Chain A
Amino acid sequence: MTSIQDAPAPASEVVLEAAGLTKHFPVRRSLRDLFSRTHHAVHAVDDVDLTLRRGRVTALVGESGSGKSTVARLLAQLYPRTGGDIRLHGTSTRVSGGRQFRQYAARVQMIFQDPFASLNPVHTIRYHLTRALKIHHNAGRTSADLERALHDLLNRVSLTPPERYLDKFPHELSGGQRQRVAIARALGANPEALLADEPVSMLDVSIRLGVLNLLRDLKERLNLAILYITHDIASARYFADETVVMYAGRMVEGGDSETVTQSPAHPYTRLLIDSAPDPDRLHGTLEADTRDRGNGEPPSLIRPPAGCRFHPRCPMAMPRCTTDLPVRLEIGDRPGHWAACWLYDQGTVAAEQPGSAAAAGIVREEAP
């Protein structure tokens, strides 16, 4: 295997970048729509900017349906994008299968949520890893090279001794071991960026941290850029350097993980953090912090609310929130901490009372 440990790179080098990334999934049109000439689409991802740097973990936090997995699939070029740009080392790339896709996949690899489904049950671990190595030309020339590369991969993900695992089938391994094989397979391509889509949420709680610690270790040794997608904001704090929060297809807040989790700025991030189970909060202190005007459900993405998509649920909503899309505003407490929320625009807050739209019950849905 070619050595990537000694690849000299500045720590902050940008590997993969998304700018204004947008994905709309078309909705099947009914007969009536054909006459009215309307085009419905699910606005799964709108205007997402994301930067993955070498040796850094970026967490993308959101609830189901927030579009976080779609972002990963767009970045892996598994879906064609509707708009925006994906830049690999500054070069705009758009691939759709074939040789180009393989070249792209050699540099950007994805790890899926469910290791029970992402490994083929009829093939051995050796087969899975050999295939990854051969496709991405990392298998070497001789069978001895291949064997060495296989041992190397399993050693890297701490499945030692490798001989014990190479000829096993996926069903003979536990969930954590299987996810390690899936990670080894991704490493077989010798990538620069790893896109991990909820890599631990299917695993038993006691072994989740083992896999996260492994990923962190790999990040440091191989200088990888990692996108960590999760719904668990506490694990983002633990594992990621930066955290970005998504709600209903849009990014609402970002910054370094410690700042975002300790002094959340956007009302949605606050709701998310208040809702996370917290053993230190014993009994009875529940009502005060469920400040959700809605019923805990995200809006329809076919007809997303106008303005800020969180405004129907936001306790701080102002009239402007119901009409104007909030821009990214610097919070100012720590460099790089931003939120897309009008609460941080002093002009708006001075002119309108925070919570005034919430009190008046103003909710605007986008016109069909």
Chain B
Amino acid sequence: MSEPVLEIRNLNVDYGLGEQAVHAVRDVNLTLHRGEVLGLAGESGSGKSTLAYGLTRLLAPPGVITGGEVVYHPEQGEAYDVLALSDRGLREFRWAETAIVFQGAMNSLNPVHKISTQLGDVLAAHEPTMSAHSRQARCREMLKLVGISPDRMDAYPHQLSGGMRQRVMIGMALILQPQVVIMDEPTTALDVVMQRQILGQLIELRERLGFSVIFITHDLSLLVEFSNRIAIMYGGRIVEEAPAASLYRDSLHPYSAGLLSSFPALRGPRRELTGIPGSPPDLKGMPSGCSFHPRCPKVFEPCAGNIPVLGRPTTPDGASRSVACWLHPVVESVG
């Protein structure tokens, strides 16, 4: 496995303060390696977006990071904790080192500015010495890279289709050649044909430019196909993390198994599927013990009382994966 580029250690994020605080992300440990696509899956309210905002320090109040660290390893130089950066350091870190493509990115372009202005703004802010001419050239190059003809530079967002706006957003995220790109449901609003084209292009760009991706979505079947490793979140915690293929072939956590069997297959025999009974937990009143236990088909004694720790299971491929479930004894805990 290649060296880590981003290490999340014991990250905790709350909404609100004191007694009433809602714990949206709890004790998350996650490592992103150089050049890999790490998928982060979970239902709405599982804390996956909060995790992404937390690690980039983009959380809006009442969100607060209550603990943990996010260690970033730049290509050259010392590793540092993103959560401890000064405002100035953070400004330099953002976009240049870690860029984020937001949920509903198609609507996050400013409608009253041209594409070229919005792309150019990024460069003007981060590389103030760059001349206007070379800024233009760089924008042109970037648009070509994401498959938009450079003569659309002076178009306004409304003149582009949803798919093209999405490409602009991806181009904008890549323009400073960051090491890490976080994509929060980047293709949810797009049709499947467009989704495949954009993701195919993204994978191609990743191979060429060598950045790492954290890909957040609720569509697990998409992740199995496109990512190297997958982490599954439930109720603010990571419940399982494994290479995509092993997760798909033999998932250990009952929630992962349930999530995988929530997608009807397009090929193979047609069989009755049930999804997962019950509804996702309310973060305000989390169940005791394992937060999945009220919905779990394999629940037994320890589940309701104690929170399982995330650790390496004793299976043959245990070294490459981790799980937090009482069904699977763990040899060493992660983090």
- List A residues at the B interface (Cβ < 8 Å): 63-64, 174-177, 204-210, 213, 231, 233-235, 237-239, 258, 261-262, 271-283, 286-287, 290, 292, 295-297
CB pair B279 A276 closer than 8 Å: no
Interface pair B273/A209, CB less than 8 Å apart: yes
Interface contact A210-B275, CB-CB below 8 Å: yes
Chain B hits for A237, CB < 8 A: 264, 266, 270
Of B10-18, B106-114, B126-134, B188-196, the stretch lying at the interface with chain A is B188-196
B220 and A207 contacting across the interface, CB-CB below 8 Å: no
Residue of A nearest to B227 (CB): A283
B244 and A282 within 8 A (CB): yes
Rounded to whole Å, the gap between the CB of B82 and the closest CB of chain A is 30
The 15 listed contacts between A and B (C-beta, < 8 Å) are A204-B43, A204-B279, A205-B43, A205-B263, A206-B280, A209-B275, A231-B192, A261-B266, A272-B193, A280-B267, A281-B225, A286-B203, A292-B197, A295-B163, A297-B163
Q: Is B219 an interface residue (CB 8 A)?
A: yes
- The chain A residue sitting closest to B41, CB to CB, is A205
Report whether A278 and B266 are in contact in the complex, using a CB–CB cutoff of 8 Å. yes
A209 to B43, CA, bound (A): 14
Across the interface, name the chain A residue whose C-beta is closest to B189: A64
* CB of B20 closer than 8 Å to a CB of A: no
Nearest Cβ distance between residue B100 and chain A, in whole angstroms? Answer: 23
**B155 at the A/B interface (Cβ < 8 Å)?**
no
Q: Which residues of the other chain, B, contact A286 by a CB distance below 8 angstroms?
A: 196, 199-200, 203
Instruction: State the CA gap A279–B263 with chains docked (Å).
Output: 10
7 shortest interchain CB distances as A-B pairs: A209-B275, A238-B264, A279-B224, A206-B276, A174-B279, A63-B191, A277-B222
Residues of chain B within 8 A of A272, CB atoms compared: 192-193
- Asked if A273 and B266 sit within 8 Å, CB to CB, the answer is yes
Whole-angstrom CA separation of A233 from B266 in the bound complex: 8
Say whether B274 faces chain A, with CB atoms less than 8 Å apart.
yes
Bound state CA distance, A355 and B226, in angstroms?
30
Task: Indicate if B321 sits at the interface (CB-CB under 8 A).
Answer: no
A206, A238, A273, A276, most chain B CB atoms within 10 A = A206
Q: B271 → chain A, closest Cβ, in Å?
A: 9
Q: Contacts of B222 on A, CB cut-off 8 Å?
A: 277
Decide if B221 touches A210 in the complex (CB within 8 Å). Answer: no
Q: Which residue in chain A gives the minimum CB-CB distance to B295? A: A206
Interchain CB contact under 8 A, B266 and A296: no
The answer to whether A206 and B191 have CB atoms under 8 Å apart is no
Chain A contacts for B270, CB-based, 8 A:
237-238, 258
- Complex CA gap A295/B194 in Å reads 8
Report the minimal beta-carbon distance from B280 to chain A, rounded to whole angstroms: 6
Enumerate chain A residues within 8 angstroms of B219, measured Cβ to Cβ.
Answer: 205, 277
Instruction: Answer yes or no: B294 CB below 8 A from chain A CBs.
Output: no
Asked if A290 and B196 sit within 8 Å, CB to CB, the answer is yes
Instruction: Please pick, from A175, A209, A258, A277, the residue contacting B262 in the complex, using a CB distance under 8 A.
Output: A209
A210 contacts which of B218, B265, B266, B277 (Cβ < 8 Å)? B277
| B193 and A206 within 8 A (CB) | no
Known: A233-B266, A261-B266, A295-B163. A177 touches B194 (CB 8 A): no
Measured between beta carbons, the chain A residues less than 8 angstroms from B264 are 209, 234-235, 237-239
Question: Which residues of the partner chain B approach A277 to less than 8 Å between Cβ atoms?
Answer: 192, 219, 221-222, 224-225
Across-interface contacts of B277 in A (CB, < 8 A): 210
Contacts of B280 in A (CB 8 A): 174, 204, 206-207
CB distance from B256 to the nearest CB of A (A): 11
Residues of chain A with a CB closer than 8 A to B259's CB? 205-206
A261 vs B268: C-alpha distance when bound (angstroms): 11
> Which residues of chain B (17-54) have a CB below 8 Å from chain A?
43-44
Interchain CA distance A282-B247 in the complex, whole Å: 12
Given A206-B262, A258-B270: A282 in contact with B224 (beta carbons within 8 A): yes
Chain B window 227-260, contacts with chain A (Cβ cutoff 8 Å), 1 for yes, 0 for no: 0000000000000000011001000000000111
A62 to chain B, nearest CB (A): 9
Q: Complex: how many Å from CA A279 to CA B266? A: 10
A296→B277 CA distance, assembly (Å): 36
Measured between C-beta atoms, what is the minimum distance from A179 to chain B in Å? 11
CA distance A206 to B220 in the complex (A): 11
Q: Are the C-beta atoms of A290 and B266 separated by less than 8 Å?
A: no
User: Are the C-beta atoms of B275 and A297 separated by less than 8 Å?
Assistant: no
Alpha-carbon separation in the docked complex, A239 to B266 (Å): 12
Also in contact, A234 and B265, with CB within 8 A (given A205-B218, A206-B280, A296-B163): yes
Q: How far is the CA of A205 from the CA of B272 in the complex (A)?
A: 16
In angstroms, Cα B270 to Cα A87, docked, is: 33
Q: For B167, give the chain A residue with the smallest CB separation.
A: A295
- On whether A287 and B197 interact (CB within 8 A), knowing A206-B259, A272-B192, A278-B225, the answer reads no
Cβ of B190 to closest chain A Cβ, rounded Å: 9
Contact A275 B193 (CB under 8 A): yes
B2 interface residue per 8 A CB criterion: no
Q: Which of B161, B200, B265, B275 contacts A207 (CB 8 A)?
A: B275
B169 CB, nearest partner CB in chain A, Å: 16
Highest count of chain B CB atoms <10 Å: which of A233, A234, A261, A296: A296
In the assembled complex, the Cα of A286 lies from the Cα of B196 at a distance in Å of: 8
| Bound-state Cα–Cα, A96 to B175, Å | 54
CA distance A204 to B42 in the complex (A): 9
Q: Which residue of B lies closest to A64 (CB)?
A: B191
Do A177 and B275 form a contact, CB below 8 Å, given A275-B193, A277-B222?
no
B196, closest chain A residue (CB): A275
Cα(A174)–Cα(B203), bound, Å: 36
| CB of B120, distance to nearest CB on chain A (Å) | 24
